[in-house]
Structure 1
Amino acid sequence: MNNRSAGPRSFNTLQRSNRSARLKRLQEARILLLTICVLILALALTGLVFLFCQIGYNVSAGGGSGGNSGKVKYTSRQVEPWDEGADISVYRGNLILVNETHSYRYPETRIEDMTENEKNAYSLMTYRVMVGNTYPYYVLPNSKNYYMIPEAAKAMGDLLTYHYNQTDEQLLVRAGYQQESSVTNGNYDQQVGLSASIDNDMDVSLRSDTCQKLISEGARFGIIQRFPNGKASETGASGCTNVFRYVGVPHAGYITSQGITLEAYLNLLQSDYTYSKSHLLLNAAGEAVKAKDAVYEVYYVEATAEGTMSVPVPENYPYTISGDNMKGFIVTVNLSKS
């Protein structure tokens, strides 16, 4: 009796054992499949992160998109960053910052040492063209304050002529290379030959409505308001809202559209838009855009401590290099030309 009942119980036990083994193998297979899926997903996410790092995707402070255009092929250019006499140095360029901390390094040949013919290229009067029978702006005829670097003088003349054509308003302009002793209210920019003081006339300082028009009009000519009202803590200058500074296109458009100072712009480039990181991509108006709409690509290269260094530059697009008078260079690539 006991032997007969033992057989079925052993069979049932064997069935349960086989079923448990199958369930265990099925569970192990599911765990293995899940592990493989997790690994595949992790690899895919890692690949996406790596791709975004390669692209250098970044959102700029002003809400536009940074990155790299993907169009530029790079080579290198040898420069001596701290050579004051070199055409390309930390101390030269349209974007140099000049203030109490970062003094201006005067070129070996100053305006007063030039021939009369050479001086003409630096004179605001050279770029003043009559509109009908009228000059569009007045230039105070003093040897110390109507000279600018030629590129800046032309841009300033173009701005003042454009303003006259839009408003019939003739303005008075003072510009120039000044000596250290002439610095007032922290306006060290008047030493450089890139800025000008603009007034309504000899007896009337620049009116606020005229000032606002010049700010909005200036960007297309590469000109910014150098010392915006309420930004003295950044610029170190007060009471100089009538000073306009040439920085070039497209930088003026970005600075003006973002409502920032030259100091803030240079700090932004130094921290967020270096060659090895994301580049600042701008359209023709200087607005931050995606890669597909970029007309300019801007990036910062820090100078080495001494000796000759290599600056990465495009080999397939025109570009400019400007020092910042602090610690490096700003490279501006024109993607509209090749």
Structure 2
Amino acid sequence: MSGMLAGKVAVVTGAGGGIGRGIALAMAAAGAKVVVNDIGASLAGEGTGAGPAQQVADEIIKAGGQAVPNTDSVATRVTANNIIETAVQTFGRIDIVVNNAGNLRDRVFHKMSEEEWTQVIDVHLNGTFYVSRAAANYYREQESGAFVHMTSTSGLIGNFGQANYSAAKLGIAALSKSIALDMARYHVRSNCIAPFAWSRMTSSIPANTDEEKARVTKLQKMEANKIAPMAVYLGSDRASEVTGQIFGVRANEIMLFSQPRPIRSVHMSTGWTPEAIAEIAAPAMKHHFMALERSPDAIDWDPI
């Protein structure tokens, strides 16, 4: 099969539905051989099964592509290694890793349980590390490879009731930058996508107030398969000079996100005291303080 990813082997985690399914299908259509990973669990994490992964793999094969299902969890080192080994043992190599697997355990911070915190960190942040780390040795040996990680504006900007998810997603952005720096010498690239899309996971977002209902209505207009073209591009050789970046994809709109840099500094030649900070430094910087915003506050225009 010809295309931008011809000859490449890709792993897409959480590919049994939604955004991951769209990415897996698009990568196969672009010529990649795909490991379709999905544990087949419910949104609450209950049950497992090969159904979703097998169905997507079957779709790819029916369309003339090559794919294999995998149901290992991203949340442990051993099972994450199994995901990458499925690619290597089946197709002989690994070129692209898309860390898309996710879950939600939304709860206001002061009521969040340790289990709700750990379950989300394990899948999103630890899972991204484990799967990426499993691929890293192969990338280093072959001196090539691409990572595409899913971050979120919940972490980049902020959101209510998602301390676990926000922390994990902002951590993924930092992890991606570190991977990009550490592995640049091996021609390995690492980038993030912050997707705006309606999927099985986002369908659990509360819609009780008028504001929440309006937000969900907007999300429902954003098709999950709109994320796939950016993932295909970032996995391709056409993006050979693109690394350490954070992109947003919302319907037909692509955004490039800024990353934290100093925006103001103040200096005191004799050194600072707490009183001097209160009287001089804080007032001097106050104009530049970031507002306490959520994603819909900062990205307040409608998608086209």
Q: TM-score, normalised by structure 2?
A: 0.25
Give the alignment's TM-score, normalised by structure 1: 0.23
**Which of the two has higher C-alpha Rg?**
1
Higher relative contact order at CA 8 Å, sep ≥6: structure 1 or structure 2?
A: 1
- Greater helix share, structure number: 2
